[in-house]
Amino acid sequence: MIILLILFYIFFPALIIYATCNNTLLNRIGSVVIAYAVGLLMGNIGLLPGMTDAYHFLLQGNVALPADQAQALFEKGKITAGDLVHNKVAYVQDMITTITIPLAIPLLLFSLNVKKWFRLAGSTFLSLILALTSVFVVVVAGFFIFKDKIPELGKIAGMLIGIYSGGTPNLASIKEALNVDPDIFIMTHTADLVIGAICLLFLLTVARRFFLLFLPPFRQFADQETTERLTREAQEMDSYKGIFSREVFPKLLLAILLSALILVIGAGLGMLVPKRSMMAVVILSITTLGILFSLIPYVNKIKKTFQTGMYLIIVFCLVVSSMANLHSMINVKYLDLLLYVAMVYFGSLFIHILLSMIFRLDADTVIITSTAMIYSPPFVPVVAAALKNRDIIISGLTTGIIGYVVGNYLGIFTGFLLGG
């Protein structure tokens, strides 16, 4: 059972990706959402072994007990055979979630040409800084409003910073760094998906008309050749085509080995600090090393590293959602969490507009900056097309890429600052 479960977790995401690439409706839903749905179904309809109250009490908040301790408790009759199987499954789930994110982060970062994005940034950096300032202010303000209503709010605040600055990859990284309970993680991301869908609809439809009431129109024009090239790059970020070709796969294996080496180095550095800060140090060390290795031309030019990293993110989403307990999630004050997430989304946009008025940023740049940070670079061409302004694609992609880079640092800092 354990071997079959591991194989399912590793290879089922490939089926999800294949389905989303060949079905328009599933593509719109997205591979991450499908992985969450399948995982929640697995974990809550009896496919995976449950646990007794006695075993749950003995866990004391841990995901699983050490194997020898669980076996000893079973032999003493304090836990059941079902508990013992659950412990083995939980151990496997914890191991996969612990490995996939640190392994994914460098792969996501290897393909980023940091120097190029900084050269292309222009006034986008200002919009980026204003957006990050806006979300930080709203997240902290919301923390003090909801701190007595929502459990683990410091950790949720850190994850919301990650969502706003880099989307799912940063959210998952911060979840591991702050040791967030799977139930809380799933509820936070579910609230993000609900509010995020509403916010995206706003950005695609009436946002420009609303923003132009306060901000000047877009006036800068980018080089057409550069714009077209970057548009193709953004669209290819979701493409797995050719990943097993002779040209791509051998070099990709080297990138995976390099990512594993970075993971080992990060783990070693994490062992030098107190246990509470260990995962945060691991994630931040790996992020930093991933950025540094992306500056090496050979590493930077390896194809499909970003897609491989996203595949690991989908594996993570499938596993962590199968660990969530819907009954426990229902007991959380979900409406308060939904209100907090809505406050972060729309409150951040409001403050971003106010600051942009002061610094005279144009409406289209503010819209595309918000889009790229919340929804990731592949969404940039979609919103640019809705605005009928391809020239802002450079600004959007710049912001999205930098968001991947800074999101882990700012999210983990916020989580610890607010007691996560």
- Report residue 79 as tokens: 């836990």
Q: Kindly indicate the confidence band of residue 262, based on its pLDDT and cuts at 50, 70 and 90.
A: very high
* The amino acid at 239: S
* pLDDT recorded at residue 269: 93
- What is the Cα–Cα distance from 192 to 194, expressed in whole angstroms? 5
* The amino acid at 235: Q
Q: Which residue has the higher pLDDT, 380 or 226?
A: 380
Arithmetic mean of pLDDT, 227-236? 63
**Category of 304 on φ-ψ map: left (φ > 0), alpha (ψ -120 to 50) or beta:** left
* pLDDT recorded at residue 235: 61
Could you tell me the residue ranges of all domains in the chain? 98-417
Q: Measuring CA to CA, which residue among 304, 294, 166, 295 is closest to residue 237?
A: 304
Q: Which residue has the higher pLDDT, 351 or 223?
A: 351
- What is the Cα–Cα distance from 195 to 373, expressed in whole angstroms? 15
Q: Which residue has the higher pLDDT, 402 or 303?
A: 303
Q: What is the DSSP string of 354-416?
A: HHHHHHT--HHHHHHHHHHHHH-GGGHHHHHHHHT-GGGHHHHHHHHHHHHHHHHHHHHHHHH
The answer to whether 420 touches 158, Cβ cutoff 8 Å, is yes
Interior/surface letters 266-275, b for 16+ CB within 10 angstroms, e for the rest: bbebbeeeee
- What is the Cα–Cα distance from 130 to 353, expressed in whole angstroms? 9
- What is the Cα–Cα distance from 324 to 337, expressed in whole angstroms? 17
> Does 126 score more than 90 pLDDT?
no
Task: Give me the phi and psi of 22, to 5 degrees please.
Answer: -115, 5
* pLDDT recorded at residue 47: 80
% pLDDT > 70, the chain: 89
* Rounded alpha-carbon distances, angstroms, from residue 343 to 132, 167, 199, 285, 350: 15, 17, 11, 31, 10
> Does 76 score more than 90 pLDDT?
no
Positions of E strands within 84-191: none
% pLDDT > 90, the chain: 30
| Residue pointed to by tokens 């408790």 | 73
In the chain, the largest separation of any two C-alpha atoms, in whole Å, equals 75
**For the segment 294-353, what is each residue's pLDDT rounded down to a tens digit?**
889 999 899 999 889 889 989 988 998 888 776 655 555 678 888 999 999 999 999 999
The DSSP 8-state label assigned to residue 63 in this structure reads S
Q: Kindly indicate the confidence band of residue 227, based on its pLDDT and cuts at 50, 70 and 90.
A: low
Q: Which of 103-117, 168-182, 346-360 has the lowest mean pLDDT?
A: 103-117
Q: Which residue has the higher pLDDT, 385 or 35?
A: 35
The answer to whether 240 touches 304, Cβ cutoff 8 Å, is yes
Arithmetic mean of pLDDT, 105-124? 72
- What is the Cα–Cα distance from 131 to 345, expressed in whole angstroms? 11
Arithmetic mean of pLDDT, 233-252? 80
